[in-house]
């Protein structure tokens, strides 16, 4: 297949102002938007995710939004397949592709491998489970080191889950941990291969905190509590990624009588500020160097210079 043309990626921490700027740029330069915010995949999670409104979604074609019910777990492998297919379709229509969202792991999939291609068979899973049942972590470690001596320097051998996963992959593939790591690093796909322009938005800390506080007030006014009630009835607590996300886990606690309404507001805002700090750190360490733009409002940046 032919290589994808340039992909444009716009990111930044939560509440920084990505949505409006993405819409303005897409309208100006004939782009369609591919969402890479992991919570926007879920139907019914609208208010607590600050999902673009119907009016905003109508301004520019959006893709990979409302893919599945909130009770169903979305995974990055499926996302990558859909993103490749969608990017090809957009560019075939003669439009640009604008990727936007703040979920670092999903955004990273456009630049580096993020998921290995070893599918664990039921037979291998049963075999490893029997090893664990027979001797716990020590049995898992001994078996892993027999198959892959280099695991001693590649895997946290005191972490049962990591040892188990490493053993499954070694058994399934017939490769050592080091060989699997090297193979993983060499993975390519059309998203990774495509030329890209990345811009990360920043905003003054105090201004960002004020925007977060305002967003929490708006979410509660718009009906976040009722939204979570409906999601709970629909079974979204079966999906930990959804139910444990900021705004939703605190509201569940409120519904269970663990928080007052005032404490609910405080906790959502506090946890959102912490998330924003983690996101800023993650973007610096995990994404390639891109354009950094300080934003005070959507008109403080010349659109033509957004990806310079």
Judged by average pLDDT, the poorest of 73-77, 118-122, 125-129, 297-301 is 297-301
Multiple choice CATH, 7-114+189-305, 3.40.50.300, 1.10.10.10, 3.40.50.620, 3.30.70.20: 3.40.50.300
pLDDT above 90: percentage of residues in the chain: 88
In the predicted model, is pLDDT for residue 1 greater than 70? no
Cβ atoms of 80 and 34 within 8 Å: the answer is no
| Residue 50 to residues 17, 20, 44, 145, 240, Cα–Cα distance (Å) | 11, 12, 12, 47, 19
The answer to whether the 7-114+189-305 and 122-185 domains have the same CATH topology is no
Which tokens belong to 106? 């999903």
Q: Identify the CATH assignment for 122-185 out of 1.10.20.140, 1.20.1440.230, 1.10.10.10, 3.90.550.10.
A: 1.10.20.140
DSSP track, 233-274: HTTGGG-HHHHTSTTHHHHHHHHTTSS-HHHHHHHHHHHHHH
Q: How far apart are alpha carbons 73 and 66 in whole angstroms?
A: 12
The ranges assigned to domains in the chain are 7-114+189-305, 122-185
Tens of pLDDT, residues 85-114: 999 999 999 999 999 999 999 999 999 998
Q: Determine which helix (DSSP H) or strand (DSSP E) holds 296, and give its type and residue range.
A: none
Q: Is the pLDDT of residue 289 over 90?
A: no
pTM: 0.86
In the prediction, which pLDDT does 278 show?
A: 95
* DSSP designation for 303: G
Residue 43 has what pLDDT? 97
User: What mean pLDDT value characterizes the chain?
Assistant: 94
Q: How many CA atoms lie within 13 A of 146 on its CB side?
A: 7
- Give residue-wise pLDDT tens across range 176-216: 999 998 988 888 899 999 999 999 999 999 999 999 999 99
Asked whether 12 and 96 are in contact (CB, 8 A), the reply is: no
Q: Give the separation between CA 303 and CA 307, rounded to whole angstroms.
A: 8
167, two tokens: 């053993």
CB 102 within 8 A of CB 72: no
Q: How far is CA 257 from CA 157, 232, 237, in A?
A: 40, 15, 17
Q: Which helix (H) or strand (E) is 292 found in, with range?
A: strand 291-294
Return the residue matching tokens 């990505």.
Answer: 18
Does 171 have pLDDT greater than 80? yes
Per-residue pLDDT, averaged over 161-172, amounts to 94
pLDDT tens, residue by residue, 63-82 = 999 999 999 999 898 999 99
What's the pLDDT score for residue 299? 75
């Amino acid at each position: 297949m032919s290589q994808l043309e340039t992909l444009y990626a716009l990111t930044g921490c939560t509440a920084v102002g990505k949505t409006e700027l993405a819409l303005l740029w897409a309208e100006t330069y004939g782009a369609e938007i591919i969402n890479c915010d992991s919570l926007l995949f879920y139907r019914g999670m609208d208010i607590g995710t600050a999902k673009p409104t119907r009016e905003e979604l109508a301004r520019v074609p959006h893709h990979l939004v409302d893919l599945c019910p909130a009770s169903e777990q979305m995974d990055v492998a499926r996302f990558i397949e859909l993103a490749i297919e969608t990017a090809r379709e957009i560019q075939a229509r003669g439009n640009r592709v604008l990727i936007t969202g703040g979920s670092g792991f999903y955004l990273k999939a456009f630049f580096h491998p993020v998921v290995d291609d070893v599918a664990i068979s039921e037979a291998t899973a049963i075999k490893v489970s029997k090893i664990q049942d027979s001797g716990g972590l020590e049995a898992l470690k001994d078996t892993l080191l027999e198959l892959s001596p280099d695991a001693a320097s590649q895997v946290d051998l005191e972490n049962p889950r990591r040892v188990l996963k490493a053993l499954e992959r070694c058994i399934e593939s017939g490769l050592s941990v080091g060989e699997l790591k090297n193979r993983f690093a060499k993975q390519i796909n059309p998203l990774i291969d495509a030329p890209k322009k990345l811009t990360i938005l920043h905003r003054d800390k105090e201004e960002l905190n004020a925007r977060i506080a305002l967003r929490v007030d708006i979410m509660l006014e718009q009906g976040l509590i009722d939204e979570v009630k409906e999601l709970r009835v629909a079974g979204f607590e079966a999906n930990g990624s959804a139910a444990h996300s900021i705004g939703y886990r605190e509201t569940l606690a409120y519904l269970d009588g663990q928080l007052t309404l005032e404490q609910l507001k405080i906790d959502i805002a506090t946890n959102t500020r912490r998330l924003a700090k983690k996101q800023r750190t993650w973007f610096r360490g995990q994404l390639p160097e891109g354009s950094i733009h300080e934003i005070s409002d959507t008109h403080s940046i010349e659109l033509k210079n957004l990806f310079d």
